[in-house]
Amino acid sequence: MSSILLPEFCLVLLIGASGSGKTTFAGKHFKPTEIVSSDWARGRVADDENSLEATPDAFELVQTLIEIRMRRRMLTVVDATNVRAEDRAKLTAIAKRWDALCAAIVIDPGEDICLDRNKLRPDRQFGPHVVRNQRSALRKGLGGLKREGFREIHQLMSRAAIDDAVITRQK
């Protein structure tokens, strides 16, 4: 069982390919109001959670929300793929400005599971290369997470590890 201990105030980045189960994991372990999701933000700025064209504006909203929640010292979870170091850097920079601890929770049940799940999702009918590229970027970045400033790094690399994870808040 993976036991994840988080301080009451921190920025948590979920890191995982499409179909890995980030949104499901976030919903299981965090309050809806603690979760800032890129899909949700795309919906807010474009009326379409899948609008790729809206991604820059959606991330502006994601970053603004993170900034405000960090200022208010509210634990915040970012539900986005976050597989590229340069994308993570923009988010961790905000946390560092507000002296928030950064935690990374890597979610990877494996390529086959991500692909199988996406096959069942009408809004995720992109080619398998998308998940492959995301997982490859994710794996490339794992070794550098500490250097990026993550103080808590948890890797849930199987369906069992993801299912069994327990998150506790430090009092």
Reference 114, options 92, 139, 85, 134; nearest CA is 134
Q: Among 44, 84, 96, 124, which residue interacts with ligand GTP (rule: CB under 6 A)?
A: 124
Nearest position to ligand GTP, beta carbon:
21
138 within 8 A of 106, measured Cβ to Cβ: yes
Residue 113 tokens read as: 């599971």
Residue 24: count of CB within 10 angstroms of its CB: 13
Reference 141, options 129, 130, 131, 153; nearest CA is 153
- From the CB of 18, what's the least distance to ligand GTP, in Å? 3
Q: Among 6, 9, 15, 22, which residue interacts with ligand GTP (rule: CB under 6 A)?
A: 22
Count of chain residues binding ligand GTP (CB under 6 A) = 14
Q: Among 6, 12, 15, 20, which residue interacts with ligand GTP (rule: CB under 6 A)?
A: 20
Residue numbers of the site for ligand GTP (CB under 6 A)? 16, 18-24, 39, 81, 117, 121, 124, 163
